Structure 1
Amino acid sequence: MKRFFLKALYVVATLNYPRLRRDLRYFVRDNYFARLNQLRFIRQDFVSKKPYKVIDYHGEFDQELRYVLPFAYWHYCNGTLKQTIGCSNTKAFYFFSPDHVERYEKRVWQAGYGYYDVPNMTHSPTFDFSKWARVPFKTHYQNTRFRYSKPTLVIANKYNIEWDQPPINFLDIPALDRIVTACKDKYQIIYNRPLATQIVGDNSETLDLHEHAWLREHHPDVLLMNDLYEQNRSSVDNYNHFQLLVYANCDRFISMHGGTAALASYFGGINIILSQPGGGKEHDFNEYETIFPALSGASIRHARTVEEVFGFVDSLF
């Protein structure tokens, strides 16, 4: 029966989006099926409204931020959330959960495929926001500890294998030098590229850009998240908790494609996202104008090249 419905929904996706590439229609089909799957819970969600929903996820961080967390928060607001289950060091993301269990030590990207338990489960030209609610990270985690004399600018970089290829979306040392030089007089810059030991890994191997030592030597006024974390380690639960505390006081971000960009989009303000063509499906579905702004109301600027990042920095920051 499931196979029949999936085939039928692929036909519907083809009729609705005839110009979309054949392989991309599978994403639309899967989202259709995930939304129809929610019909099973009409009575529990809208009639009895008792805590029953258990949300269990250990797939990609990006999917968790965009789809799973807002779904879980909707159930919390609806009074129907019973338990959430996730990876190590995710409790801070599920601060609202009545019972969060950290069951998994590693993320498995394949776990996101065929995961029909949430109404939005993958890339799509449209999203269903009927069971999707903004998670108020900024309000919940705002603090006075990580405030500075100048407004904060977070550069959330990454340098890892992408789609089984060498790093694609990242700022190298010359690019960092140009951005820091342009912005350091106006902003307190905080540089964030988590080490592999600080976050739960998936299939994307983290490589070394050697920029931390370079920043310490050439731009000592830039605060490194790794250093700040070590200084505050005794008063935070883990690196994810620490990131939320720092980000909550910030309205300006430069971030990279994937989970790095999704997390920075949770805190309002302006988020410049470097996402070069030829990689993820966000380009094909125009998601930097749909799901990413929806995460907090942030103003998203999609840079397709590093040069475009420089242009946005010059005009906006």
Structure 2
Amino acid sequence: MQQFVLKALYVLVTVKYPRLRPDLRYFIRDNYYSRLNQFQFWAKDYVTKSPYKVVDFHGEFDQELRYVMPFAYWHFLNGTLKKTVSSSNTKPFYFFSENHEEKYNKRVWESGYGYYEVPNMTHSPSFSFSKWKRVPLKAHYKNDVFVYDKPILIIANKYNIEWDKPPINFLDVAALDRIISTYKSRYQIIYNRPLSTQIVVDNSEIMDLNEHEWMRQNHPEVLLMNDLYGVHKDKVSNFNHLQLMVYANCNRFISMHGGTAALASYFEGINIILSHPGGGMEHHFNEYATIFPALSGAKILHAKNRQEVFDYLDTNY
């Protein structure tokens, strides 16, 4: 029955989006199916409304942030959340869940395919917000610890394999030097590129950019998230907890395509996202204008190359 419905939905998508590339239609089809799948829970969600929903996910971090966490939070507000299950060190993200299990020690990106348990499960030109609520990470984690004389500017960089290719979306040392030199007098810059030992990795191998020691020597005014963790690790439960506390006090971000960009989009303010064309599906579906700003109401500025990052900085920061 499932295969029949999926085939019928693909035909529907083909009729509705005749100019769309055939392979992209599968994403929309899967989202349609995931929304139809919710009808079986109508009575539990809107009539009996007792805790029953177990939200269990260990796919890509980006997918969890965009679709799974807001779904779990909706069930929490609805009174129907029973349990959440995710990867190691994710309890801070699910602060609202009274029963959260950190079951998985590795993310498996393939597990996101065929995962029809949430109304939105993959890329799409439109999203359902009927069972999707913003998770108030900023309000929950705002604090008096990470407060400085100048407003915070977070550079959330990454340097890892993308789509089985060498790194594409990242700021190299030259770009970092230009940004830091220009803005360190105006902002307290905090640099964040987590090490593989600090987060749960998936298929994207993290590589070495050799920028941390360079930054300590050439721009000692910049605070490194890795160093902050060393100083404050007795006050936080894990590295993710630290990230949430620091991000909650910030309104200006530079982030990279993927989970890095999704996380920074949770904290209002302005988020410049470096995402080169030719890789992720966000470009095809214009998602930097839809789901990303929906995460917190943040102003999202999509930079398609490093020069556009500099241009957005010049006009907004």
Q: Take 2:194 and 2:103, find their aligned partners in 1: how far apart are those partners?
A: 22
Q: Take 1:69 and 1:193, find their aligned partners in 2: how far apart are those partners?
A: 22
> Structure 1 length as normaliser, TM-score?
1.00
Equivalenced residue count is: 317
- Indicate the residue corresponding to 1:149 in structure 2: 149
> Structure 2 length as normaliser, TM-score?
1.00
The residue matched to 1:39 in structure 2 has which SS?
A: helix
Q: Is the contact between residue 85 and residue 100 of structure 1 (CA under 8 Å) also seen in structure 2?
A: yes
Question: Deviations 1:174-200 (Å, cap 9, x if unpaired)?
Answer: 000011111111100000000010000
Q: Take 2:273 and 2:182, find their aligned partners in 1: how far apart are those partners?
A: 18
The residue matched to 1:129 in structure 2 has which SS?
A: coil
Aligned positions of 1:12-91 closer than 5 A: 12-91=12-91
Q: Take 1:316 and 1:182, find their aligned partners in 2: how far apart are those partners?
A: 13
The residue matched to 1:234 in structure 2 has which SS?
A: coil
Deviates more, 1:9-18 or 1:117-126: 9-18
Question: Deviations 1:34-58 (Å, cap 9, x if unpaired)?
Answer: 0000000000000000000000000
Report the Cα offset of residue 17 of structure 1: 1.0
The residue matched to 1:235 in structure 2 has which SS?
A: coil
Report the Cα offset of residue 15 of structure 1: 1.1
Report the Cα offset of residue 98 of structure 1: 1.6
Q: Please state if 1:203 is matched with 2:203.
A: yes
Q: Take 2:2 and 2:203, find their aligned partners in 1: how far apart are those partners?
A: 29
Q: Take 1:105 and 1:222, find their aligned partners in 2: how far apart are those partners?
A: 31
Structure 1 moving runs of 4+ over 6 Å:
none
Q: Please state if 1:184 is matched with 2:184.
A: yes
Q: Take 2:230 and 2:20, find their aligned partners in 1: how far apart are those partners?
A: 48
CA RMSD of superposed structures (Å): 0.4
Q: Take 1:273 and 1:195, find their aligned partners in 2: how far apart are those partners?
A: 20
Report the Cα offset of residue 19 of structure 1: 1.2
In structure 1, give the amino acid aligned to 2:159: Y
- Indicate the residue corresponding to 1:291 in structure 2: 291
- Indicate the residue corresponding to 1:246 in structure 2: 246
The residue matched to 1:67 in structure 2 has which SS?
A: helix
In structure 2, give the amino acid aligned to 1:237: S
Q: Take 2:20 and 2:297, find their aligned partners in 1: how far apart are those partners?
A: 28
- Indicate the residue corresponding to 2:162 in structure 1: 162
In structure 2, give the amino acid aligned to 1:141: Y
The residue matched to 1:20 in structure 2 has which SS?
A: coil
Q: Is the contact between residue 108 and residue 203 of structure 1 (CA under 8 Å) also seen in structure 2?
A: yes
- Indicate the residue corresponding to 1:304 in structure 2: 304
Q: Take 1:7 and 1:174, find their aligned partners in 2: how far apart are those partners?
A: 49
Q: Take 1:203 and 1:302, find their aligned partners in 2: how far apart are those partners?
A: 25
Q: Take 1:97 and 1:206, find their aligned partners in 2: how far apart are those partners?
A: 30
Report the Cα offset of residue 73 of structure 1: 0.2
Q: Take 2:18 and 2:77, find their aligned partners in 1: how far apart are those partners?
A: 38
Q: Take 2:257 and 2:220, find their aligned partners in 1: how far apart are those partners?
A: 27
- Indicate the residue corresponding to 2:235 in structure 1: 235
Q: Take 1:65 and 1:54, find their aligned partners in 2: how far apart are those partners?
A: 17
- Indicate the residue corresponding to 1:5 in structure 2: 5
Among all aligned residue pairs of Structure 1 and Structure 2, give the percentage whose two residues are the same amino acid.
70
Q: Take 2:242 and 2:144, find their aligned partners in 1: how far apart are those partners?
A: 13
The residue matched to 2:312 in structure 1 has which SS?
A: helix
Q: Which runs of 5+ in 1 are unaligned?
A: none
In structure 1, give the amino acid aligned to 2:245: L
In structure 2, give the amino acid aligned to 1:76: F
Q: Is the contact between residue 81 and residue 98 of structure 1 (CA under 8 Å) also seen in structure 2?
A: no
Q: Which runs of 5+ in 2 are unaligned?
A: none
The residue matched to 1:92 in structure 2 has which SS?
A: helix
Q: Take 2:250 and 2:158, find their aligned partners in 1: how far apart are those partners?
A: 19
Q: Take 1:38 and 1:94, find their aligned partners in 2: how far apart are those partners?
A: 22
